[in-house]
Structures are given as C-alpha cells and as structure tokens.
Amino acid sequence: MACKLSVNVNAIAYLRNRRDVPWPDLVDLGRIALKAGAVGLTVHPRPDERHVRRTDVPALRDLLRKEFPGREYNIEGYPNERFLKLVEANQPDQVTLVPDIPGQSTSDHGWNIGENEKLLRRVVNRLKRGGMRVAIFIDPDPAQPAMAKAVGADRIEIYTGPYGGAVWPKVKREFDKVVATGRAAAKAGIEVNAGHDLTRENLPPLVAALPNLKEVSIGHAIIADALQFGLGETVKQFRRAINDL
C-alpha cells in the first residue's frame, strides 16, 4: 500500500488569524485538498488558538464525514484534559499525541516514552476505548517504536524536522536515523507516520527507504508551494512525490 498524504491546515488558519476576517476558509481549502486526493486533514489546535481554533475542529469533521466519507481526520496535540475532551467530542480517525508545551511555536521534539510511560499508557487506553487510532510523536530513535508499542499505540509519527532542515553531509546522518527508526518500527510491529519539514524534494528517498511508511502529515511546505502552483495542484505534486498518483 502506497504512503498517503494528510494535509495539515494549521498554516492556513494562521494566515486567516492575522486579520479579524473569516478567510482564507479552512473548510473551502480543505475541500480542495481532499478533491485533489489527500487521504485526510490534520489539525493541531493549541491552547492559545493562534491558528486552528476549537470551532474549526467540528467544522472540518463535518466536511470529512458528510462530503468525503472514508477520508481521515487526524487531530494532534498535548493530551491534557481539555484536549482529550475535544477529541472525544469530535471522534477523529487518529489522534497524534505530541509533547508540546503551551507556548511552543511548533513541534520540535518527540516524547521520551520511558519517562512518560504512565501518562501515555493511560491516555492511549482511554482514546482506543473511544474507537480512535493513536499515534505517538517520537524523535528518530530506534529504541522508541518498541516502547510505543508497549504502551498500546497503533502508530508512531517520526519527527523529521532534523532531516528536513539539514544540509549535506548532515542530511545523510539525519536520514539514516529516520530510516533506522522506521525499520525498528517494522520489527516491533507498529505502523509508521512521519512529519515536519518534509518537501517534494526530500520525500522520495524517504518513501523508497521505508515501504512501511503509512502516512505523511504536511502543512508548511504544501502551503508555501500552493502560493506558486495552487493548492489542488500542489497536493497532486506531493502525492506524486510519495508515489500515490
């Protein structure tokens, strides 16, 4: 099965929130991305609502459920009680647990699962009882996938920021870490997602090296390229980069 693309709409929401106006509209642009073949949409509603707002979450849920049944909704965030109640109310297909602190500008590290085992085990069990698939955001570290499996997660999401932002020769070292982590996940029997600073240029070697890569969640690079190519065409170009078109 080919790797699939989930479009993160946080950057669209961030642009909207620069003005007290309702555009660009997340639902309209989410529809364009889905019509272009994205497997689903990703949101990361942070406590200060500087991009995706709590009111956006059900609006995008309704878009997916009513107009694109079978596509996936992925909600990312730190699992405090407010976040957990939000996802339980909206029933996404996947919840990605991220260790962000409240004021963090963007995700820049994964969980240390060993230090957070009790929390993660409790949260994963709660979400899975609600029928949601659970992914844990991790750094590229081959020791982490088996630990994620042990706390009950269905998937890991490998943080690819160091790979995406690297230049030669560091890029090869970071690429090798991601690949080693993905291969360790295959051995541990846990599925693999990836995200952060992934582009049309750096995706193909990653997809080629990790046939078990299920999904990539991409926002910033898609919106940047959409300024040049349009959102629908950009989604198609990213799908070509992951051999999904």
Active site residues: 44, 76, 196
- 225-233 long-range Cβ contacts below 8 angstroms, 24+ apart: 225/200, 231/29, 231/32, 231/33, 231/36, 232/32, 232/33, 232/35, 232/36, 233/36
**How distant, in Å, are the alpha carbons of 13, 29, 36, 89, 193 from that of 46?**
12, 20, 27, 16, 21
Q: Which residues contact 241 (CB under 8 A, 6 or more apart)?
A: 200, 201, 203, 204, 207
Place of tokens 């541990």: 188
Place of tokens 């956006």: 56
What is the distance of C-alpha 100 from the center of its chain?
14
| Nearest alpha carbon to residue 171 among 206, 139, 126 | 206
Contact in structure between 178 and 157 (CB atoms under 8 Å): no
